[in-house]
Amino acid sequence: MIALADVDLVLASTSPYRRELLARLTPNFRCLAPQVAEDPLPNEFTHDLARRLSFDKARDVARRHPGTVVIGADQVANVKGSFFSPLGKPGTVERARAQLIACSGQQVDFHTSVCVVDARAGGDPRAFAHHLQHDTTTVHFRALERELIERYIAREQPLDCAGSFQCEGLGIALFERIESDDPTALIGLPLIALCRLLRTLEIEVP
């Protein structure tokens, strides 16, 4: 086993939420932006989209930075049963409002994938070993009144969050309950799964 501190570790993300989560395991990593289009493919299931993008992000950064171990992650949400209609990052207040209206009183599945690409040996990027894990967290939303939605958006400004909420902040007040195997998955980086993947590469955590 090799210590995590001795690995040139890269997080293929500029998300402050994922950076804060990974910092729970180690302070020794870099954040680099992947150059990956995030549009879904025609008729692509939301869970498949999350898996594909986590791999594409990690592979893209590993290709440009051989000698590293790269972590890629992605999260896609959908109202339960709407397998081809992802709830992405709203970007605007109007879209955030529409997303929360759609989630009101509904079950929403958050599909979070994490992929680790091992580029330590260098060589052909197509031959880099990779390992991937997926988590599905189901959030049961309260019935949300229009005034509550407006107050929440104004206070939290969740425009860069899939589903238009931050569970680590005031968004937790929007829920009836959460069904999850990994509470960090809902924030964007499933640390239990990530530790498992790193151990697969014989990287010791902690």
Cα–Cα distance between 134 and 115 in angstroms, integer? 9
Half-sphere exposure of 110 (CA within 13 A, CB side): 31
74 tagged catalytic? yes
The phi and psi torsions of 167 (rounded to 5 degrees) equal -70, -20
SS (H, E, C) the chain: CEEHHHCCEEECCCCHHHHHHHCCCCCCCEECCCCCCCCCCCCCCHHHHHHHHHHHHHHHHHHHCCCCEEEEEEEEEEECCCCCCCECCCCCHHHHHHHHHHHCCCEEEEEEEEEEEECCCCCCHHHCEEEEEEEEEEEEECCCCHHHHHHHHHHHCCCCCCCCCCCCCHHHHHEEEEECCCCCHHHCCCHHHHHHHHHHCCEECC
Catalytic residue among 56, 60, 74, 135: 74
Catalytic residue numbers, as ranges:
74
